[in-house]
Amino acid sequence: MYNPSIFVVDDDPDMVKGLVLVLREIGEVGTAPTAEEALEYIKRNPVDVLVTDVRMPGIGGISLLEKVKEFRPKIEVIVLTAYGSIESAIDAMKKGAYHYVTKPFNNDELLIVVQRALQDKRFHEELEYLREKVNKAHVFENIIGRDWKIQEIFETIKKVSPSKVPILIQGESGTGKELIARAIHQHSPRSKNRFLGINTAALPENLLEAELFGYKKGAFTGADYDKKGLLVQATQGTFFLDEIGSMSLAFQSKLLRVIQEMEVIPVGATEPLKIDVRFISATHTDLEKAVKDGAFREDLYYRLNVVRINVPPLRERKEDIPLLAGHFLEKWAEGEEKKGLTPGALRRLMEYDWPGNVRELENVIQRAMLVAEGVDIQPSDILLRQEPLPWLVEAEGYSSVTYDKAKEEVFRHFQREYFTNLLKRCNGNITLAAEKSGITRTALHRIIKKLNLSEEVLTMRDSLPQVTSK
């Protein structure tokens, strides 16, 4: 095991002595009496965690923090602030400190914070490592995944791409069906030609027919010229039939004929045109069941389902979440410095069940990037499921109780909503939450107790112990 390196800066020699005694239990501890000396040391030596006093002669702790972060952004900095100086604590957090500890502190509390910082740093390094690795075995034509089910899909794509066999991709919404269809095309000899597709659920039948098969001038009102159908335009390419589960039986028969004969008759024409496309279809519905229910033609089903790719929902391949999250952070950074995820934020992503699958993850990351203020995305930046205000909905049912009772209930719901969100924003830091809401810490403690929030508050914290003055 490697021995972490901790560095302590304080102008008070007794304080330094005390800190060394405590911290050497968990790592190598270097010390300096001034920020200037600390800077010199850190420039030349590896340091994992820096513990610094705020007020020192010469360069103060906050400037030291800023300077260190400039050339060693990965060092975690813990700032020792004086009792009652919440401003410097907030300032330090804004400038990228890992946490602050208010003097006088208890040794165990400090030890926990430093340990946590070391742990999180290692977690970050692991994430970084994974992100590096993503570029090799875990990416295939823009599809990311290390889960074996996805790896198996990579293998299937490689196997089936060269041929012309029809492929049916089944998976919940947002699992990456279109991405897979495009990957098959890209990986096939047809990649020089077009990948075209149509969402069969999105168009009324007559339009679907006109689009797919084309039409002759004068075939219907508005057909002012001959138009080539998409299936003809995709010659020697790939054609993607999306959401095939909702085609009418009549249209299914037409499509079956097209696939059997490999020709189309444009609307208003008499002569068929030869087509040469590879069909890939996708569905999020259970086609076997539709066949049993008589809603989907069995013969068409067998035609389309020569090779089947089942895409698992994201909740069944959670180990891919860090990779995908990292990928989307990069994708949406748009030239700016890429934001990271705090371990707590990642944990929130891992615990969620993702009904909207990868697309939902992408949206959540995009939104988090917009609201995140610091360099990293915090747990409170992760907004899962835009929840309505349940207390308003529930309140409608209160017409049968007295006004006072209803008011009390609604108020309680509001309080819960307000303080849960506030504490999330403040990482469970009660002092900060009290300050922001304009009430005293005692009052806040009372509310937390009344609403029985403590457990929720704890789980929402970014896994930091609460270190405040007593």
Nearer to ligand ATP (CB atom), residue 94 or residue 149:
149
Interaction of residue 178 with Mg ion, rule CB under 5 A: yes
Residue 358 touches which of ligand ATP, Mg ion, none (CB < 5 to 8 A by kind)? Answer: ligand ATP
Q: Determine the interface stretch with ligand ATP among 16-24, 56-64, 73-81, 356-364 (rule: CB under 6 A).
A: 356-364
Residues 270-329 that bind ligand ATP (CB under 6 A): 284, 324, 327
- CB of residue 242 vs Mg ion: minimum separation in angstroms? 5
Fill in the DSSP letter of residue 27.
S
Q: Determine the interface stretch with Mg ion among 81-89, 134-142, 175-183, 208-216 (rule: CB under 5 A).
A: 175-183
Q: Determine the interface stretch with ligand ATP among 22-30, 157-165, 358-366, 377-385 (rule: CB under 6 A).
A: 358-366
DSSP string for residues in 329-360: HHHTTTTSPPPEE-HHHHHHHHHS--TTHHHH
Residues 119-158 that bind ligand ATP (CB under 6 A): 143-145
- CB of residue 127 vs ligand ATP: minimum separation in angstroms? 17
Q: Determine the interface stretch with Mg ion among 9-17, 177-185, 205-213, 410-418 (rule: CB under 5 A).
A: 177-185
Q: How are beta strands 195-199 and 237-242 bridged, if at all?
A: parallel
Is it true that the peptide bond before 104 is cis, omega within 30 degrees of 0? yes
Contacts of 317 (CB under 8 A, 6+ apart): 145, 147, 149, 150
Site of tokens 């037409």: 254
- CB of residue 79 vs ligand ATP: minimum separation in angstroms? 39
Say how far apart CA 250 and CA 23 lie, in whole Å: 76
- CB of residue 232 vs ligand ATP: minimum separation in angstroms? 25
Question: What are the DSSP E strand ranges found in 271-408?
Answer: 273-274, 277-283, 307-311, 340-341, 376-377
- CB of residue 71 vs Mg ion: minimum separation in angstroms? 45
- If we measure between CA atoms, which residue out of 339, 462, 341, 375 comes closest to residue 94? 375
Among 359, 367, 425, 436, binds ligand ATP (CB under 6 A): 359
Interaction of residue 409 with Mg ion, rule CB under 5 A: no
Nearer to Mg ion (CB atom), residue 188 or residue 200:
200
Sheet holding 307-311, edge to edge: 195-199, 237-242, 277-283, 167-171, 307-311
Residue 79 touches which of ligand ATP, Mg ion, none (CB < 5 to 8 A by kind)? Answer: none
- CB of residue 334 vs ligand ATP: minimum separation in angstroms? 15
Residue 266 touches which of ligand ATP, Mg ion, none (CB < 5 to 8 A by kind)? Answer: none
- If we measure between CA atoms, which residue out of 364, 215, 149, 183 comes closest to residue 280? 183
Exposed, middle or buried, 65 (CB in 10 Å: 0-12/13-18/19+)?
Answer: buried
Residue 157 touches which of Mg ion, ligand ATP, none (CB < 5 to 8 A by kind)? Answer: none
H runs (alpha helix) in 241-294: 249-261, 287-292
| Pattern 128-167, Mg ion, x by CB under 5 A | ----------------------------------------
Count of residues engaged in binding Mg ion, rule: CB under 5 A:
1
- If we measure between CA atoms, which residue out of 344, 331, 416 comes closest to residue 374? 344
Residues 157-176 that bind ligand ATP (CB under 6 A): 171, 173-176
Interaction of residue 91 with Mg ion, rule CB under 5 A: no
Count of residues engaged in binding ligand ATP, rule: CB under 6 A:
17
Please report how the helices 177-186 and 148-160 are oriented relative to each other, as an axis angle in degrees rounded to 10: 40
Question: What are the DSSP E strand ranges found in 118-175?
Answer: 139-140, 143-144, 167-171
- CB of residue 193 vs ligand ATP: minimum separation in angstroms? 21
Fill in the DSSP letter of residue 312.
P
- Residues of this chain that interact with Mg ion (CB under 5 A) are 178
- Residues of this chain that interact with ligand ATP (CB under 6 A) are 143-145, 171, 173-179, 284, 324, 327, 358-359, 362
